[in-house]
Amino acid sequence: MNNLNSWMQLALFVGVLLLITKPLGLFLMRVLDARGRTFLDPVLRPLERLTYKICGIDPAREHNWKQYTAAMLIFSLVAMVTTYALLRLQAALPLNPQKLPAWPEHLAFNTAASFMTNTNWQSYSPEATASYFTNMVALAAHNFFSAAIGIAIAAAVVRGVARQTMSTIGNFWVDLVRLTYYLLLPVCVVFALFLISQGMIQNFKPYDTASLTEPYTTQVQKTDDKGNPVNDAAGKPVMIDQKVDTQTIAEGPMASQVAIKMLGTNGGGFTNANAAHPFENPTPLSNFIQMLSIFAIGSALTYYLGRMVKHQRHGWAVWAAMTFLFLAGVFVLWRAEAAGNPIMTQLGVDPADGNMEGKEVRFGIFNSALFTTITTDASCGAVNCMHDSLTPLGGLVPLFNIHLGEIVFGGVGSGLYGMFVFIVLTVFICGLMVGRTPEYLGKKIEPYDVKMASLVILILAWDILGFSAWASVSNWGPPDPVTHAVTNGTNNNGPHGFSEILYAFSSTTGNNGSAFAGLSANTPWYNTTLAVSMLIGRIAMIIPIMAMAGAFARKKIVAESVGTFPVTGPLFATLLVGVILLVGALNFFPALALGPILEHFLMLTGKLF
Amino acid sequence: MKNILLEIKTSVLALILLTLVVSGAYPLVVWALGEAMFPHKANGSLIVAKDGKALGSELLAQSFTSPKYFHPRPSAAGTGYDATSSGGTNLGPTSQKLMDSVKAAVAQYRAENGLQAGTLVPADAVTSSASGLDPHISVKNALLQTARVAKARNLSAEKVAALVEKYTDRRQLGIFGEDGVNVLKLNLAMDGIIDQ
Amino acid sequence: MAAKTHSIFDPAIITPAIGQSFVKLNPVTLAKNPVMFVTEVGAAITTAMLLVKGQGHFGFLIQIALWLWFTVLFANFAEAMAEGRGKAQADSLRKARTQTFANRIKGTGTESVAAEQLRKGDVVIVKAGEFIPGDGEIVEGAATVDESAITGESAPVVRESGGDRSAVTGGTRVLSDIIKIKITSNPGETFLDRMIGLVEGAKRQKTPNEIALTILLSALTVIFLVVLMALKAYGYYSTVDFTVPVLVALLVCLIPTTIGGLLSAIGIAGIDRLVQKNVLAMSGRAVEAAGDVDVLLLDKTGTITLGNRQATEFMPAPGVTEGELAEAAQLSSLADETPEGRSIVVLAKEKYGLRGREIHEMPDAAFVPFTAQTRMSGLDVGGASYRKGAAGAVRDWVGGRLPKEVEKHVEAIAGNGGTPLVVATKEKALGTIYLKDIVKGGLSERFERFRAMGIRTVMITGDNALTAAAIAKEAGVDSFLAQAKPEEKLALIRKEQEGGHLVAMTGDGTNDAPALAQADVGVAMNTGTQAAKEAGNMVDLDSNPTKLLEIVEIGKQLLITRGALTTFSIANDVAKYFAIIPAMLLGTFPAIAPLNVMHLKSPDSAILSAVIFNALIIIALIPLALRGVRFRPLGAARILQRNVLIYGVGGVIVPFIGIKLIDMLITMIGLI
């Protein structure tokens, strides 16, 4: 951590993030206003009008919270079913130069749920499973929609807070269309071109084959005529030598997909290694801009919040609370990874290099730590290092970030609407201490609001803890290739194996999508339960939050005075951080104690599993 | 109910229309612009031999084991350096399996490069990268291999070190990321296939 | 019961409260408090586990079980204590409701019926010495009434038919005269009944804020149930067998038992504190609303100024000495028994050394009382007539003109918020008396404190704007409503409410009723009409309008206490995790030892210490819950900062120390 250059990169990151927050926030004000004007109007206004006309959308008609939520759910469901169908039919669809086969039911369900919910958990290995058509149409389209929907929901919530004695909170279709056309598309075109300039691929050609300068021999499992793996009498795989003299290089339309994957905090990789893959994140600069793009919209939304409620300092207080939690995560993770693994040090590995297992040289310890914190602060889930190979405390950070509800800038939109729940809770718990019944921006927090906020926290805890508990007493993994015995699918034993299971359901509930990727989760049980936890984590969160938005819109605004609970300034930001940490710690400390915390102490004693 | 049907109709129409834009027009526009502006990079930054045969990508590691080549980081992609199956070991910090492999790699690295007893092994040399395709090794790692390569090629250590220096990708714009030596390019340069 | 406060450790309250703690163990009644219900179920399960082998050693288990029961008992005790304090007050009220008989008018005669048989609309006759059988309005006659049973005020008050002093309360006693009363409430619904119900907490409904808080506490309880069940499953994976009693112990420590146990006690105590100030809140909601209020409408007379004006200065007309004027003023007021008249006599005596003369010393003097026609009062003595009165009246009396100087004085006094009285003989005007509204002491500091809390004060007065502005300035109120009619008062409340403000006011007249009903907090004076009392949501038994200020403070204090203890309770959990989680894992994974940051002696002692702390903290906080946290009139940010530091940060730190001390103690005396 005593690396000046890393500190400079961190300062630069926070500085640039701060710098883009206001302009992007102001731009959001225009995009999220059905009559807002932008510099893109000459090109996009006709397209927008055409879209409304074809789809039969009346942009002047606003929805109440139930109509808004219903429209959102119906659209999501239609899109999810479509994706499921496209995945099941992959073999029959175009743009499939590798002739990849159709997907099994549970994997298609898991993936459709995953992309619809902005999770982008990938049970599949992209290069080996997904055709270009699948990537572009079935998956990348969701990257746009789920991102636009997240921002739309956040906007609806903000409108609910800002308005008074009204029943409507905007028109879902207008928000969806305008966000896609005016915000996501234009930024992505520029962003994608930048990524190509850094070395990212964007083509439609078949995979390339390169001749190896130094061919080598490796051992693979023997397969019979039909391509099935062959085992010996004892059930052990029969291994045969295979000469390798070529390297097949996966290709495809990557840049266009990665741009929206990052900007929309989707995180679903074009490749299995995701943003660690040299194509998918070629340079440190592409890494920097990708990290920035994860936070960009979430950060701008705090400005949008401040603007809309005419209380800009409140927006900045929320921004500050998020930044504090972000930096706290970075420091713990960075420190843990830089300290390295004492067991490796004993084997003669240089401890000054830190823990390089599962990391890329061009990013090093710091940029891996930074990316990991960011991707889990937000519900992005792209990874530029392997979370499974992080040190225990290093792995604790992404896990805990997800447990906090991913409200540190968060997934586009979902970060802010998740934060809204914590703000309401903070105001409710601490608000009484100023001697008034709690109020947020002049709106009294009533039993209904607390019920909905509690429900969100309850669902978050229940979804993660319930499923991971179930999984940890079950064996949902693939059968052992040698013994054919049932397994739990973990790639590691001891507490780390438990962490893999916990991380999986945390990631899916939080709609994050990153993984302790050692877990072999591409099995019917895992795919199904993970998909269900993703759907709960998205839909069962949005509904109560939208109900709160509706309730807030109907409320009257109580006048502000020096006797009002302050929602600006360092005190409020501190309280917000305190409540977030406390709720997260109370709900998940026991789980974390049995996973990363226990593993940390075992690692210090040199224990291996 | 009628409202729901209406919303479903809107959903289907919106889905089709928006998909045409974001999955059809958008990637094609990016592709066309990419081909026009950065054709080499958009197509995988391939290194092509004089006979037109692709030798690899500047960005992807390949296996090198002989003493005359610099060795890339261990790879867990497929059976090793498989560019259709990127990934890491996903082994955690208390994994017996990981420590066994690191232990073996340390022993091999020490032996290959004749490391002195007191010299520590660079972490990147014995740990698998995240992608399994990490094109770089640390400068420290490269310099520890320099003597071996120079000896195998009958070159002066200085000459090899100069090549290492040439194929070191420094921090971008002087700030971003970490220094790394591009192993494939360095090895091909030593073979004289690309510019020395 | 007036201002009769009970010591927190009054054995008369503690003893029955201990009994009640056991009665309240009944799970049916406990079920309305989800947190304590779960605790009780946990205690029962742990007790049952005593019979099951393999759950740990008996001495440890029985202690855990006992302390879990104590946790429930302590929470019950807190509630019983709060209720007990109310009960003590209710009992003294109930004595007033002893069997009374009423003489009900039937046809032309009367019949004697028990008070309980009276219905709305009945008319009864009450004679001197009898108890008034129920709430009602005097329809005929006037009487002095002893209302000490209700108000604690021993001086009798006058009640008479018509006007704003016609309401009487059941249980009070007529001291003189005969009155006819129309009963206005059915038995069981009388004011006394409601008071008893309120102070006992029997009819207490949860306020919206309490409901919301209960929802949050229930949600936390459910979350921790899930956490614990998940932990059991995780244990299976990690090959650690968590025993049921230990899991229950952790659960009880984590669920917010502290606030769950004290929540209703805090609410009851809040109402109780109001009762001690002789204010009856009709609902807990009203008390909370008092905390939210940010605009106070204060009647000038009685609240801001002493009820009466006082003479402060004599301003002679040209050619008249001050002494002459003082003497004339004194003479004109000799027989004037109004407070203003008395103050003129006092001023003449104190400032000009004029000996107080008594009217009976002057047998030929004739007192001329004030009438609506003359609008003057005075004295005719020895052929001379002395009059004092409003400038207009005196002007007419002396022949249509006043000296220019006098007119100037009159204007100046009015402009300063005073009331000018012109003194004259039949021949000429002698000068002007400056009658001043005397602003109560210490008010402007008090209003300053309210301003700091973000509360705006508005003075309501019938005076003209000029006078009102002067008084408003002197009193330090933020604004005023001059020449206010009741409709304007109502309109003002509506306007403030539309601007998002919560308004409190006091009132006593029937014409105040709409405004009292519209206000968020309407405090009716007990001397006021029944209509006013029905319309407001609080009644001040002392009929002291200034008390509005204290009501607001009590409301705020109640909310702060609830918030502080909630924060404290939740913050406590951090330490409990650090006590119990390492203890649960230490057996299987000795490597976890460094997580035992408190260095607790053994796993068993760690768990037991946490459970004991969790139970004892309830007892320790009962006095705070009943008394309320100390209230300081500061801005929200500063109050918050203070309370977060004490109850939030303190809530994290205190249990670390507490659990450590308990651990040292129980290992020292060998309990474990």
Nearest CA in chain B to A218: B79
CA distances from C149 to C91, C117, C167, C173 (A): 11, 22, 16, 9
Examine the pLDDT at A40 and tell me if it is beyond 70.
yes
- The residue-averaged pLDDT of A383-405 equals 97
Optimal mutation site among A165, A310, A313, A437, interface C, most CBs of chain C within 10 A: A437
The proportion of chain B whose per-residue pLDDT surpasses 70, expressed as a percent, equals 99
Positive or negative, the CA dihedral C360, C363, C368, C369 is positive
CB-based contacts of A207, cutoff 8 Å, min separation 6: A97, A98, A248, A249, A250, A251, B84
Tokens of residue C276, six digits: 């001690």
Catalytic choice (C122, C146, C193, C299): C299
C339 in Cβ contact with C458 (< 8 Å): no
In this complex, which chains have at least 3 CB pairs below 8 Å with chain C?
A
* Gap between the Cα atoms of A323 and A343, Å rounded: 34
* Gap between the Cα atoms of C434 and C420, Å rounded: 5
- Which residue among A218, A249, A280 closes a domain? A249
pLDDT at C344: 87
What's phi and psi for B17, nearest 5 deg? -65, -50
Place of tokens 């403070």: C553
pLDDT at C508: 75
Examine the pLDDT at C75 and tell me if it is beyond 50.
yes
A513: domain range? 412-604
pLDDT at A363: 97
What's phi and psi for A69, nearest 5 deg? -65, -40
Nearest CA in chain A to B183: A361
Indicate the length of chain A as a whole number.
609
- The residue-averaged pLDDT of A424-449 equals 93
In this structure, is residue A355 part of a structural domain? no
C72 in Cβ contact with C40 (< 8 Å): yes
Which residues of chain A lie closer than 8 angstroms to C577, CB-CB?
585-586, 589-590
DSSP A323: H
| Residues A89-140 pLDDT 10s | 999 999 998 899 999 999 999 999 999 999 999 999 888 899 999 988 999 8
pLDDT at A183: 97
Task: Kindly report which listed range (A206-220, A552-566, C87-101) carries the lowest average pLDDT score.
Answer: C87-101
**Helices first, then strands: H and E counts in chain B:** 8, 5
Whether residue A472 and residue C237 make contact (CB cut-off 8 A), yes or no, is: yes
pLDDT at C360: 67
Say how many domains are in chain A: 2
In this structure, is residue A258 part of a structural domain? no
Active-site residue flag, C299: yes
Predicted confidence band of residue C418 (pLDDT cuts 50, 70, 90): confident
In this structure, is residue A493 part of a structural domain? yes
C207 exposed, middle or buried (CB, 10 Å; 0-12, 13-18, 19+)? buried
* Gap between the Cα atoms of C148 and C130, Å rounded: 14
A434 in Cβ contact with C640 (< 8 Å): yes
* Gap between the Cα atoms of C459 and C505, Å rounded: 10
pLDDT at C545: 74
DSSP A93: S
- The residue-averaged pLDDT of A373-387 equals 96
pLDDT at B95: 96
pLDDT at C529: 74
CA distances from C164 to A182, C306, C521, C529, C564 (A): 69, 20, 21, 5, 43
| Residues C591-601 pLDDT 10s | 999 999 999 99
Predicted confidence band of residue C188 (pLDDT cuts 50, 70, 90): confident
Nearest CA in chain A to C224: A587
In this structure, is residue A485 part of a structural domain? yes
Distance of CA A380 to the CA centre of its chain: 2
Give alpha helix (H) positions in C10-57.
Answer: 11-23, 27-30, 34-49
User: What is the least distance, in Å, from the CA of A94 to any CA of chain C?
Assistant: 46
pLDDT at C154: 65
- C580/C542: higher pLDDT: C580
Predicted confidence band of residue C201 (pLDDT cuts 50, 70, 90): low
- The DSSP annotation for B102-138 comes to HHHHHHHHHHHHT--TTPPBPHHHHS--SSS---EE-
- C376/B196: higher pLDDT: C376
Whether residue B94 and residue A189 make contact (CB cut-off 8 A), yes or no, is: no
Which residues of chain B lie closer than 8 angstroms to A75, CB-CB?
7, 10-11, 14-15
- The DSSP annotation for C169-210 comes to -TT-EE-SS-EEEEE-S-TTSSHHHHHHHHHHTTTPPPPHHH
pLDDT at A507: 97
Which residues of chain C lie closer than 8 angstroms to A561, CB-CB?
294, 454-456
Which residues of chain C lie closer than 8 angstroms to A564, CB-CB?
454, 636
User: What is the least distance, in Å, from the CA of B158 to any CA of chain A?
Assistant: 24
pLDDT at C8: 64
| Residues A50-90 pLDDT 10s | 999 999 999 999 999 999 999 999 999 999 999 999 999 99
Whether residue C643 and residue A468 make contact (CB cut-off 8 A), yes or no, is: no
Task: Kindly report which listed range (A203-207, B3-7, C466-470) carries the lowest average pLDDT score.
Answer: C466-470
Predicted confidence band of residue C3 (pLDDT cuts 50, 70, 90): very low
- B51/A12: higher pLDDT: A12
Nearest CA in chain A to C647: A433
| Residues B85-125 pLDDT 10s | 999 999 999 999 999 999 999 999 999 999 998 899 999 99
- A253/C134: higher pLDDT: A253
Examine the pLDDT at C203 and tell me if it is beyond 60.
no
In this structure, is residue A482 part of a structural domain? yes
- The residue-averaged pLDDT of C478-501 equals 87
Predicted confidence band of residue C135 (pLDDT cuts 50, 70, 90): confident
Predicted confidence band of residue C356 (pLDDT cuts 50, 70, 90): low
In this structure, is residue A30 part of a structural domain? no
- Which residue among A220, A249, A278 closes a domain? A249
A342 in Cβ contact with A606 (< 8 Å): yes
Predicted confidence band of residue A2 (pLDDT cuts 50, 70, 90): low
Chains A+B touching (3+ CB pairs under 8 Å): yes
pLDDT at C46: 94
CB-based contacts of C603, cutoff 8 Å, min separation 6: C582, C583, C584, C586, C587
User: What is the least distance, in Å, from the CA of B174 to any CA of chain A?
Assistant: 9
- Domain boundary assignment for chain B: 2-40, 47-190
The proportion of chain C whose per-residue pLDDT surpasses 90, expressed as a percent, equals 35
A164 in Cβ contact with A557 (< 8 Å): yes
Please, what is the Cα angle at A283 between A280 and A287, to 5 degrees?
70
pTM: 0.91
Whether residue A587 and residue C227 make contact (CB cut-off 8 A), yes or no, is: yes
Q: Which residue type, as a one-letter code, is found at position B21?
A: V
Tokens of residue B154, six digits: 């009958």
Whether residue B15 and residue A79 make contact (CB cut-off 8 A), yes or no, is: yes
Task: Kindly report which listed range (A186-195, A374-383, C155-164, C338-347) carries the lowest average pLDDT score.
Answer: C155-164
B74 to chain A, any CB pair closer than 8 A? The answer is: no
* Gap between the Cα atoms of A353 and A366, Å rounded: 11
Distance of CA C404 to the CA centre of its chain: 52
What's the alpha-carbon Rg for chain A, to the nearest Å?
Answer: 24
* Gap between the Cα atoms of C301 and A121, Å rounded: 72
Examine the pLDDT at A26 and tell me if it is beyond 50.
yes
Residues of chain B numbered 25-54 and touching chain A (CB < 8 Å): 26-27, 29-31, 33-35, 37-38, 41-47, 49, 53-54
The proportion of chain A whose per-residue pLDDT surpasses 70, expressed as a percent, equals 100
Predicted confidence band of residue A305 (pLDDT cuts 50, 70, 90): very high
* Gap between the Cα atoms of C1 and C278, Å rounded: 8
- The residue-averaged pLDDT of C521-544 equals 82
Task: Kindly report which listed range (C110-124, C180-194, C641-655) carries the lowest average pLDDT score.
Answer: C180-194
- The DSSP annotation for C134-172 comes to S-EEEEE-EEEEE-HHHH---S-EEEESSGGG-EE-TT-
State the first-to-last Cα distance of chain C, in angstroms, to the nearest integer: 49
Give alpha helix (H) positions in A404-494.
Answer: 414-431, 447-461, 467-472
Model ipTM value: 0.96
Examine the pLDDT at C2 and tell me if it is beyond 50.
no
Examine the pLDDT at C260 and tell me if it is beyond 90.
yes
Examine the pLDDT at A314 and tell me if it is beyond 80.
yes
In this structure, is residue A269 part of a structural domain? no
Mean pLDDT, chain C, whole residue set:
86
| Residues B153-164 pLDDT 10s | 999 999 999 999
DSSP A227: S
Examine the pLDDT at C59 and tell me if it is beyond 60.
yes
Examine the pLDDT at C76 and tell me if it is beyond 50.
yes
Examine the pLDDT at C5 and tell me if it is beyond 80.
no
